[in-house]
Structure 1
Amino acid sequence: MNSSTGALAGAAVGDAIGGAAEGNTPEAIQERYGGFIQGIVPPFLADWRNARPIAPYHKGDGHITDDTLMTNALVEVYDTLRDHLDAYAIADHLVPLLIGEKRWIPEFESEALLLQRIFLAEKWMVARLHYGHIDPREAGVGNIVNCGATMYVGPIGIVNAGAPDAAYAEAIDVAGAHQSSYGREAAGVFAAAVAEAMRPGADLDTVIATALRLAKDGTRDAIEAVAEAASRVTDWRAGLSVLRAAVEPFDTVGPHYRAPARDARIPSRTKSIEELPIALGMLIASGGDYREAVLGAVNYGRDSDSIAVMAGSIAGALGGLEVVPQEWLTAVSESSRIDVTATGPVMASVARDVWAKDARRADVVAAGRSAYALIDAEAV
């Protein structure tokens, strides 16, 4: 339960701290905040209610964003089904949560449907699955390729704790309803990294090795390049540009995050999302330390909240809830009006039920194979 709570609370705290910096360069972040961000900060734009492109989102002040809202919704689906998920579970259960009931949205400071907060890439699922009745396994085709699916699949790693190959396969299936190409691939690799981090005896080296073993195409190349660069970084404060240079050949968004290149976010076998390799790089550069990895992700800028989610989730899974600073846990929970430690015990309970079902299924398979072997031997 401790690793489960560490993974989910660690992700939520990273999300809340990183939201304020999202979309900005390290230089702009340091100018705005008088140096590196060291914890929870106010919004980047003081007039966030009216200033584009932030309005109407209150990013900063410890508010969780859509990353955590989507993660919590996936936890609800797991809690309902108490079993492994697939693309059909997204269509039958997650999409109804997005459009069916209001809940507190910290960035709105009011209740609203999740649909009204999630980004266009997530609204795609509603359009394709609820209105278009597309086969859930193929619904992600045509969507922009980004980190949309990756940012919330941490629970898949928890339910497959210690079994990264199974986590990878389940996340690839689930993400098919949302993403294609390297966006889908990153979801599988991130879920596998969390599953490995949950394994007793795992460490950062085994997490990185697992990611490299399972990753395909440009995702693997990007992780390898950033990991190599990060191994030469002793302090992320001096290494932000080094990590950016390492991932840049694989990133389709381009140098201007708010103005993506024309060929951005389209399917490719040579490209990767930026967020996952950088999150792993920050973990390497910080030696797996939760606080430093999250702060490195936040001060990197660009998609800082999602990078911090991924780094925070893996660090939290490795170290447990105690590695997440208590002052951050308290402040984010109070500011967001949500207990960020509440989903961990839920997923731990779900995982125990799923593991019991997996054991029974394995017994059935073993019995069937034994019977087949007996029949085959008699036939001979």
Structure 2
Amino acid sequence: MRERHGGPVTGIVGPWFDDWENARPMSPYHKGDGRVTDDTLMTHAMIDTYERVGGHLTAFDVASTLVPIMMSEPRWIPELEKTTVILNRVFLAEKWIVLRCHYSHADPREAGVGNVVNCGAAMYMAPVGAVNAGDPDAAYAEAMDIAGAHQSSYGREAAGVYAAAVAAALAPGATAASVFEAALSVAHDGTRAALAAVRDAVASWDRAVDLQPILRAAILPYDTVGETYREPNMDARKPSRTKAIEELPIALGYVLAHDGDYRAAVLGAVNYGRDCDSIATMAGAICAGLGGTAVIPDDWADEVAAASRIDLEAAGRRLAAVAATLAAADAERAARTLEIARARAASLQGATL
């Protein structure tokens, strides 16, 4: 990337290949030029799912609502430069949801078992954090249920931890440090160990040096893919209790290192390389949760919206409306639960007396 662009990427760039339709290994995707990737397509499909279900989601809602959206609702796919269904753009690990939930009729709660373990489920879990704003534990639990239809092992774990991080970022007074600690508090196994390693790496970072190799060294013991991303190791993307996906800890590392600064964290994530669209998506969502829409560069948002023919602001408003409705319902349910608990406590106290 640095060789091609004469240094680190500082904004929107053109496609890697000029003849993007025929070039390998990227064909047939028109990447660059402000075109969103599958992360954004799936995130918007999740917003659609929340609107249609009208409540918190489960793995069964993935099968009954998200999968039909992916299969049968045409929309503009920027990287393909045509209108078609999302299924024609997503990677094999996302096509798995359709295969298992629609064609194989698997139990959605465990349909993700057997899939390649990657960040596929994590990449579109930001809406789960938004509808559980301020409650990382609830976001983690909901995302873990949803992600069961898509992923297993540390891929599923990453989905839960990412949703928790977004929920934590939306809490009043949240900071990059508090978000990172919230992610650590819900994480398990290799994901938790990877997060701790990244946190320690950031704590010892000398800002005069490049952060990328430092974070890569920190995540390396937990990454199954290996150094040559397109020629993965023999044990790449297999279930494990000691490993973690690379994308989420690295994203959180850039958020922490730059104290939630949107531009710095996103550019750091982009210049990290490897699966940088997912890393930047996660870092950007968390930083936007901390700072709101004001921290998102207008020139970036405007160019992406125009190039991708996508209304980013409308999607945000739709998600906010769903989140507000669910927050009110959650508060009402919590009040009823508290009332029942108090009545039960009084009854038990009377019985004891």
TM-score range, shorter chain: over 0.9
SS of the equivalent of 1:144 reads: coil
CA–CA separation in structure 2 for the residues paired with 1:194 and 1:245: 25
Q: Is the 8 A contact 2:175 2:259 kept in 1?
A: no
Candidates 322, 336, 341, aligned match of 2:294: 322
The equivalent residue for 2:71 is 99
SS of the equivalent of 1:48 reads: coil
- CA pair 237-58 structure 1, distance change in 2 beyond 3 A: farther
Structure 2 counterparts to residues 218-367 of structure 1, below 5 A: 218-235=190-207, 238-367=210-339
- CA pair 377-231 structure 1, distance change in 2 beyond 3 A: closer
Measured after TM superposition, the shift of residue 377 of structure 1 is 4.8
- CA pair 227-357 structure 1, distance change in 2 beyond 3 A: same
Letter in 1 for 2:213: S
- CA pair 35-310 structure 1, distance change in 2 beyond 3 A: same
Measured after TM superposition, the shift of residue 125 of structure 1 is 0.5
Moved more, 281-290 or 86-95: 281-290
Q: TM-score, normalised by structure 1?
A: 0.90
CA–CA separation in structure 1 for the residues paired with 2:87 and 2:124: 15
Letter in 2 for 1:343: A
CA–CA separation in structure 2 for the residues paired with 1:236 and 1:196: 30
Q: Is the 8 A contact 1:234 1:285 kept in 2?
A: no
Q: Is the 8 A contact 1:288 1:315 kept in 2?
A: yes
SS of the equivalent of 2:288 reads: helix
Measured after TM superposition, the shift of residue 367 of structure 1 is 3.7
The equivalent residue for 2:47 is 75
Q: Is the 8 A contact 2:42 2:124 kept in 1?
A: yes
The equivalent residue for 2:90 is 118
Structure 2 counterparts to residues 179-218 of structure 1, below 5 A: 179-218=151-190
Structure 2 counterparts to residues 50-69 of structure 1, below 5 A: 50-69=22-41
Measured after TM superposition, the shift of residue 364 of structure 1 is 3.0
- CA pair 370-239 structure 1, distance change in 2 beyond 3 A: closer
Measured after TM superposition, the shift of residue 32 of structure 1 is 1.0
Aligned-CA RMSD value: 1.4
Letter in 2 for 1:47: D
Measured after TM superposition, the shift of residue 234 of structure 1 is 4.6
The equivalent residue for 1:170 is 142
The equivalent residue for 1:7 is none
Q: Is the 8 A contact 2:117 2:153 kept in 1?
A: yes
SS of the equivalent of 2:84 reads: strand
CA–CA separation in structure 2 for the residues paired with 1:237 and 1:52: 34
The equivalent residue for 1:152 is 124
Letter in 2 for 1:196: A
Q: Is the 8 A contact 1:235 1:286 kept in 2?
A: no
CA–CA separation in structure 2 for the residues paired with 1:82 and 1:157: 16
CA–CA separation in structure 1 for the residues paired with 2:145 and 2:15: 36
CA–CA separation in structure 2 for the residues paired with 1:375 and 1:304: 57
Residues 62-93 of structure 1 deviation map (CA, whole Å, 9 limit, x = unaligned): 00000000000000011112211111110010
Matched, 1:32 2:4: yes
Measured after TM superposition, the shift of residue 140 of structure 1 is 0.6
CA–CA separation in structure 1 for the residues paired with 2:350 and 2:200: 56
Tell me how many residue pairs correspond in the alignment. Answer: 352
Q: TM-score, normalised by structure 2?
A: 0.97
CA–CA separation in structure 1 for the residues paired with 2:46 and 2:187: 23
CA–CA separation in structure 2 for the residues paired with 1:116 and 1:258: 21
CA–CA separation in structure 1 for the residues paired with 2:249 and 2:219: 7
SS of the equivalent of 1:58 reads: coil
CA–CA separation in structure 1 for the residues paired with 2:208 and 2:70: 37
Residues 319-353 of structure 1 deviation map (CA, whole Å, 9 limit, x = unaligned): 11111111001100011011222211111111111
Structure 2: which 5+ residue stretches go unaligned? Answer: none
- CA pair 236-68 structure 1, distance change in 2 beyond 3 A: farther
SS of the equivalent of 2:76 reads: strand
CA–CA separation in structure 2 for the residues paired with 1:309 and 1:378: 55
The equivalent residue for 1:10 is none
CA–CA separation in structure 1 for the residues paired with 2:47 and 2:90: 16
- CA pair 338-235 structure 1, distance change in 2 beyond 3 A: farther
Candidates 80, 84, 104, aligned match of 1:132: 104
CA–CA separation in structure 1 for the residues paired with 2:100 and 2:194: 30
CA–CA separation in structure 2 for the residues paired with 1:288 and 1:375: 48
